[in-house]
Amino acid sequence: MTQSLFITFEGPEGSGKSTQIKLLNNYLTSRGIETVITREPGGTPAGDRIRSVLLDKDGGSLEPETELFLMLAQRCEHLRKIILPALNAGKVVLCDRYFDSSMAYQGFARGLMLDKVRSIHQAFLPGFLPDVTVLLRIPPEKGLIRARHGGQKQLDRIESETLAFHQKVLDGYNAVAAEEPERYIVVEAEGEPEEISKKIIVELKNRCQELF
Ligand code: TYD
């Protein structure tokens, strides 16, 4: 079956996006739907190198604008080389972070103007937005504990920001989701992964009947 659909997963650190992407992918592939799983920053060879510059703690601080432009640079590569070809081939693309991360992190939390972030995106990335965005909400203090994986994982440059920064990220997500309720599925991310996945699938079925 071919039915292209661009679904992005967003949320603060430790919100369980990758687990939810896996569960949704299992559901879709078990129904014969072809999927592509990808992520930002990254998704292409150049994008993965840009990811290291963005997240490596040893590289020191980055100016907010530098951070935004690097996010956009990796997104140009990702959109043109991975996302659009997959959609044109009739696949469902499941993407871990995209434009709304730039709004929440660079726009809200770093304090760049939201209109500027939006208009740069529209100017350089033909304003290409997902069909559906799943926002997994978790209080930042709980998400950061999860992101540390019980102390086994070192936090990267952005994860290491203050709790106040991560609270602004969550506030930013809430604001962008409220602006576009037709694109967003908002789910609380603290429960059992399987239960959360079921809720997401019910919402997706409501919105994308042609796919299910
Ligand atoms: P993340 O999904 O947290 O990676 P992992 O779970 O593997 O550590 O994403 C990396 C970071 O990039 C995260 O802190 C959010 C940040 N980010 C932005 O600040 N702006 C963006 O536009 C994108 C795509 C990500």
Q: Which residues pair with 72 in a beta bridge?
A: none
| Residue 137 and residue 193 in contact, taking contact as beta carbons nearer than 8 Å | no
pLDDT in tens, 21-50: 999 999 999 999 999 999 999 999 999 999
pLDDT more than 90, % of the chain: 87
pLDDT per residue over 3-13, tens digit each? 899 999 999 99
pLDDT of residue 125: 86
| Bond prior to 139 in cis (omega within 30° of 0) | no
Distance from residue 53's CA to the centre of ligand 1 (Å): 12
* pLDDT, greater one: 149 or 120: 120
Pocket of ligand 1 (CB under 6 A): 13, 40-41, 55, 71, 96-97, 101-102, 105-106, 156, 158-159
pLDDT band for position 127 (cuts 50, 70, 90): confident
C-beta of residue 193 within 8 angstroms of C-beta of residue 23: yes
Helix 163-179 and helix 140-147: axis angle, to 10°? 110
User: What is the chain's mean pLDDT, rounded?
Assistant: 95
The model scores a pTM over 0.85: yes
Output the pLDDT for position 1.
Answer: 53
Sign of CA dihedral 194, 27, 7, 95: positive
Instruction: Show the CA angle centred on residue 179, arms to residues 159 and 91, nearest 5°.
Output: 75
For residues 127-141, b (16+ Cβ closer than 10 Å) or e, as one string?
Answer: ebbbbbbbbbbbbbe
151 band by pLDDT with thresholds 50, 70 and 90? confident
> Can you tell me the distance from the alpha carbon of 168 to that of 120, in angstroms, rounded to the nearest whole number?
21
| Residue bearing the CA closest to ligand 1, atom 23 | 101
Q: How far apart are CA 166 and CA 12, in angstroms?
A: 7
Number of continuous H segments (helices) and E segments (strands) in the chain:
9, 5
Among residues 126, 110, 177, the alpha carbon closest in space to that of 118 is found at 126
Average pLDDT of the residues in 171-197: 97
Tens-digit pLDDT profile for residues 45-84: 999 999 999 999 988 899 999 999 999 999 999 999 999 9
Closest ligand 1 atom to the C-alpha of 75?
Answer: 24
Q: How confident is the model at residue 96 (pLDDT cuts 50, 70, 90)?
A: very high
Best residue for ligand 1 mutational test, from 8, 9, 10, 13 (most atoms within 8 Å of Cβ):
13
pLDDT computed for residue 20 by the predictor: 98
What pLDDT, in 10s, does the model give residues 161-173? 999 999 999 999 9
Locate the domains of the chain by residue range.
5-207
Residue nearest to atom 10 of ligand 1 (CA): 41
| Record: fold of 5-207 | Rossmann fold (3.40.50)
CA distance 27 to 20: 11
pLDDT of residue 2: 62
- Judge whether residue 153 has pLDDT over 70: yes
Section 185-211 average pLDDT: 94
